[in-house]
Every structure is written in C-alpha cells, then in structure tokens.
Structure 1
Amino acid sequence: MNKDTFLANAMIGVSADDQAVNDQLVELELYELTSGHQLIDPKSCPTGIGVSSYDEYYTQFLGLYILKMDLLNAKFLWKRIPVPVKESSANLKILWNIGKLLLRKNYSKFFETASQIIQQPNNHHPESLIYIVTQIGQRQQRHLVDLITSAYSCISVEFVASLFCIPVKDVVSLFVPQQWELTANGKYLSLTQQPSTMLETPPAILSSPLLETNRSGLNPLTIRCPACELRLATAFELRKHAIAEHLASLDVHNQMDIPCFSCDVFTCAICGVASSECSAVEHHFRANHSAFINDPIKV
C-alpha cells in the first residue's frame, strides 16, 4: 500500500468520528514519546504504526491536530518535527501554512488557500492531502456557521461570501438549513428564531410567582423601535423588525449609508426581562424582586 492510499484511508476512517481521531492521535503521540528525539533520516520508515515514512507520519499527525482544531498542539508539533523532514516535505509545509492562518484567525485567507489546494487544475497534490484539507475546510465552515448563528440575528450575504470565499448562492444554501432566511432585497440573512443562549434564567426564578405581574400583562416590559415607535418584547424581535421593515427595502451601495438604529435597553439583573424605559425596569424590580435586595435599585 503506497503512502497516499494509506493516509487517505486513515483520514477517511477518522474524519467523521472525534473519538477515532483522539484514538489515532494517542497512537501517534505514543510513538513519538517512545521513539526518542534523535535526528532521523526523513526517508526512513517508522515501524509498528502502519506508515511508510516519517513524512507520512508527521503529515498524518499534524493533519489530525488541525482537523481536531487543536491548534496549540499543532504549533508545538511543528516545532518538534525534525528539520530534515520539514525541509523535504511539501505536504507538511502546506498543512502548516493553513494551520498558521487558523491560528491567526485569518479565515478568509484560510478558505481561499484551502480552495486553491482542492480545486487546482491538473492537481498535482496527493489525494491524501486534498482529502484532509477538504475535511479541515468543512469542519471550519461548520464551526463558523455555528459561531455566526450564536452571535448574530442578521448578517450581510456579501460579508459571509467574502469570509467563506464562496459564491452568494452557496451562502444561501449553507445558511438556510440552519434556520436562516434571505431578506426581501436579497442582501441580508436573518435568523428565523432566537438562538439558545449559554446563560439562562434559573428554573426557580422562571417558576417564581414574582413574575406573574409581567405574565398577566398588568405591567408589560417592552422595547420601543426608535424609527416607528412599535413596541416589541425582546431585543431579538427588535432587530428582526428593524431588518424587515427599515433595512430590507433600502438600496444602499455603501456601508456608511446604512442608517444607525440606536436604542438603550435596560435589563433586570434578577430575571433578565428588558425594556427601553429605565423607570419600567425599576418599577418591575421593586414590585417583583424586593426579597433579593433592600436598597433601591439603580439601573
């Protein structure tokens, strides 16, 4: 079995299973620890781990670290790789170049470089390298989509296309299955439902009778749109409203021409309800949470 066939089979075997990636890394790390740090011949063959050369061994080792997004260990591994191996291996240099781009969080350049490696006409790169770069690119793409979904309720299609180095039509097909939708003017992606947050209101507070005033509608807390006076329940709904009603119909060609929506939002420190009126939050706190503090609230 030649080295390209072996490495491709190894990557295929681990790409979909994080536990398998970890197991493979343990095996490679164990070999490194037991083989010593003597200067090695880059053409020699490590025995006992199923690879045909040190070039192949370190290519697999570095590729798996980057695939796992363990970039710190990838950096330390690169420093440990013997100079003769690094100097003689084009595959290692390519992998480390894309690893450095991820370390620097230069995602646009990373996707551009990965695309060039994968789609190069008359591709002279080995299949094993193309495969692992493809797997790394797909995992980074999924990772960034998750980050964007957790941080944004609206984002420019043009910005995302530039970030991922893909056509606009591919941006839509990538985000729509993740609960995003294209706005009427086709320039923005809007999240169709509010993402779950890492910090949630404790169940004991949610079930507390102290919140019944707001639930019954006797003392509703709302956020006012600064453009049309519409009142909404959450900041997320305000952003969706602003995008759909005030931004989607605009035909702007310069980022500086987009109007700025400024709205002060005050939140309750106990249960997290919000309002654009400070006095409403103060009243809510005194009425519902007096047991938590004796001093008057200062928002």
Structure 2
Amino acid sequence: MDLSPIQSALSSKSYSTLADTCDELMLQVASRGIAYQEEWPFDVHLLGHVFANDLNSARYLWKSIPQGIKESRPELVASWKIGQCLWTRDYAGVFDAIRGFEWSPEVVDLVTAFSENYTKKMFQLLNSAYSTISVGDVAHFLGMTEDNATNYALQQGWTLDSSSKMLTVKKPKMVAEQKLDPSKLQRLTEYVFHLEH
C-alpha cells in the first residue's frame, strides 16, 4: 500500500489538506479490496480531522476503527482524547491531552501546529468575548500557567492590573468606514429627484 501522499502532506506541513488526502486514499484502497487496516495510519488520519476542526468526521473515523487496533496503538487513543476534549468543549483538557502524551516524530509537528492554531483561536475568542478577564480564566482557556498566560496576553497588547489580577482586553481596531464621495452623493440625489418627478 502506497502511503506516500500522506507522508508528502506531513513532510510539506500541508496539515489543512491532510484529512482529505487520508479520506481519498482510504477510499481508493478500500475500493480495490485491499486489507489496509493493520497498516493504516489512523492516528495521522484522526489528527488530520482534528486539525481541520472536522469533529464529526473524526468521531465517525474513531467509531469505524476496530477495537483491536485502538487497544494496540496508544498514540491513536491519545489523538482521540484531543478530539473528545474538543467535542465536549473542555478547553484546558485539549491542552492537557496534547501535553499528556509523548508524540512520535511522525506527528509531533502536526500536533504542535494544531496546538499553536488552537491557542490563537482560543485567544481570538477571548478577545471578542471579554473586555476584562481574570488571569486565572485566561490561563484556563489557553491551557497555560498564569505567568505564561499573562505574558502571552501582554504580548498581544492586553494590559494587566496586578492588584486585582485582571487583564484588560485590547480590542482590534475597527476599520474606518469608507467616506462617500460628495460627487457620487450629488449624482444619486439627482437620480432620485429625476425618478420622483
């Protein structure tokens, strides 16, 4: 079985296309009647769906994997743990699941890239949902220590009230509205006037 398209996606760090590559290759192999399950990189496939934030596909893939394979591959179980935490919105649990396993060299870059993207996504959610938030809550949502979460937030332009341990969110600058050209407004006025009379 030729898994080179999957290896190519991993080596080129094309993680956003990894799940689709795995899905297509799995269908091709299965359509030829080739027994693939023992050799299939289910952990990579599952992490590809997690990276793409396609939790339904990750869940269906997990359910389709034979129990014997699940029991014999700890990295696969660790990959699914990330998916479970995402599914239940256990934000800190996602980071605990990532840090709680010694990832193989084959997937460590994929997991690292997912972790970085997830941190950014969580920070953007906090940025849009709060004007002030406690250091402890930021640490919880970002899966960091309070010191690391504070440093991360300060690097993003937030400010810290050290007496109350509250962070003030720096809202993104609003894009200035485009000003209407007076000549266009005059033409529109003339056009409407013409229609009414």
TM superposition score category, shorter chain reference = 0.7 to 0.9
Unaligned 5+ segments in structure 1 are 15-19, 44-52, 118-122, 205-299
1:162-201 to 2 correspondences below 5 Å:
162-185=140-163, 187-193=165-171, 196=174
Q: Which residue of 1 aligns with 2:120?
A: 142
Aligned-partner Cα distance in 1 for 2:124–2:117: 11
Q: Structure 1 residues 186 and 170 mapped into 2: Cα distance closer, same or farther (>3 Å)? A: farther
Q: Which residue of 2 aligns with 1:36?
A: 30
Shift of 1:32: 1.8
Matched residue type, 1:79: K
Identity %: 22
Aligned-partner Cα distance in 2 for 1:25–1:109: 23
**2:127/2:170 contact within 8 Å kept:** no
**1:102/1:110 contact within 8 Å kept:** yes
Q: Structure 1 residues 190 and 60 mapped into 2: Cα distance closer, same or farther (>3 Å)? A: same
- Give the counterpart of 2:15 among 13, 16, 21: 21
Give the TM-score normalised by structure 2: 0.73
Aligned-partner Cα distance in 2 for 1:175–1:87: 40
DSSP 3-state at the match of 2:25: helix
Q: Structure 1 residues 61 and 160 mapped into 2: Cα distance closer, same or farther (>3 Å)? A: same
DSSP 3-state at the match of 1:69: coil
Higher helix share: 2
Aligned-partner Cα distance in 1 for 2:61–2:155: 37
Higher relative contact order (CA 8 A, sep 6+): 2
Shift of 1:62: 1.0
Aligned length: 175
Shift of 1:141: 0.9
Shift of 1:188: 0.8
Superposition CA RMSD, Å: 3.1
Matched residue type, 2:55: L
Matched residue type, 1:89: R
DSSP 3-state at the match of 2:89: coil
Q: Which residue of 2 aligns with 1:107?
A: 91
Matched residue type, 1:153: S
Which string of whole-angstrom CA distances, capped at 9 and with x for unpartnered residues, describes residues 63-102 of structure 1? Answer: 1111121111111221223444333222111101111111
DSSP 3-state at the match of 2:100: helix
DSSP 3-state at the match of 1:36: helix
Aligned-partner Cα distance in 1 for 2:124–2:11: 24
Q: Structure 1 residues 25 and 129 mapped into 2: Cα distance closer, same or farther (>3 Å)? A: closer
Q: Which residue of 1 aligns with 2:43?
A: 59
Give the TM-score normalised by structure 1: 0.50
Q: Which residue of 2 aligns with 1:74?
A: 58
**2:70/2:77 contact within 8 Å kept:** yes
DSSP 3-state at the match of 1:166: coil
